[in-house]
Structure 1
């Protein structure tokens, strides 16, 4: 069970605080990403839509005022969305990008963010602008939690897309299935949790690949 503590341990967990030494639950996120390009052919950012699992959505909504039972407007969820993106900033929004020369691309703060609620699940929409447009011919974007506390999975329908880059091609790679040794380590995370500085989660990254002529 998720336990509250007096110290914040946010990881995109909206209003949730977690003591990782006492519990290691997973939050499941199904996501779609739209890679954004400008008219001059440079990449300018990524637009995400992350849908949280029903159990976490129900927990996160506790105490949120709403006018209609079972329904929440964007305005009613605005404070929750703000808390969410503020928390995500510390963890680089779980989004990492590199150009074809290996250079890391740096994202700025999230913009155009909001939450909606459909079919008993919260979806966070937000855009991550690059601090400087990228003109690389190939770019790799990875989405993962370094500590493997949050489980990310591509949406089944239209998981990735391009906006403003008609000459480019986008594809994606699913995380590999854990080997027996990796599975054994994953099973031990409740007792020996990873922290945000860990690089272990990278081996289970969801990868988006963009190639341009």
Structure 2
């Protein structure tokens, strides 16, 4: 059973629940290395996106302390499952930090069946797969990325090889795009400033800076 205490008391709130205005524009406090596999079926349709996240040692240690109910410095299967259940529920409002943009239009995400959690070499790992809502055929330009809209958690791909396309792309060209932060700020300074003052808690600035995999078909 999930504990009847808030996620904030477990030290996970800022990473996995709705952010306040102050949290939304803070620098990252939680860091994770990511891998994403875009799975394409024989009909050139995006079947699912498979995610692997490896969290930094400090945050991982915090989770260990909060969820190690029997204090044996090891997360048992039931304790790992509890972490997965809490994260699964908390990230629903954020599309599980997954961004799919097809020909300029945001595509919704179906909730995964669950989030599998493991603890290896002092680091917390999460594994799960999501599907695009309503199906997604490969035509035009489609980009896939991972980012936390609250800017509290920094999830990034250390190597271009951590972004993978598998299956029948029928000659689509893929590229890893790593946006230049200074260039984005210079090009969008006026619009970003206006958006911040209009709604400082509800804007999605981090999408502009997220590393993404782009397919052109």
- TM-score, normalization by structure 2: 0.73
Q: Distance in 1 between matches of 2:182 and 2:153?
A: 16
In structure 2, the partner of 1:50 is: 53
User: What secondary structure, in the 3-state scheme, does the structure 2 residue paired with 1:202 have?
Assistant: helix
DSSP 3-state at the match of 2:115: strand
CA distance 1:69–1:147, change in 2 (3 Å): same
SS at match of 1:134: coil
Give the 3 Å change call, closer, same or farther, for CA 71–174 of structure 1 in structure 2: farther
Instruction: State how far apart, in whole Å, the 2-side matches of 1:18 and 1:69 are.
Output: 32
1:206 aligned onto 2:208: no
Residues 74, 114 of structure 1: 8 Å contact kept: no
- Asked if the contact 2:88–2:114 (Cα under 8 Å) also holds between the matched residues in 1, the reply is no
Match of 1:103 in 2: 105
User: Where in structure 1 do 4 or more consecutive aligned residues deviate above 6 Å?
Assistant: 16-20
**Larger deviation, residues 58-67 vs 146-155:** 58-67
Query: Could you tell me how far 1:50 is from its partner in structure 2?
Result: 0.9
Higher helix proportion (structure 1 or 2): 2
Q: Secondary structure at the match of 2:161?
A: coil
Q: How many Å apart are 1:157 and its aligned residue?
A: 6.9
Q: CA RMSD in A?
A: 3.4
| Count of residues in correspondence between the two structures | 195
TM-score by structure 1 length?
0.75
- Judge conservation of contact 1:10–1:88 (CA < 8 Å) in 2: no
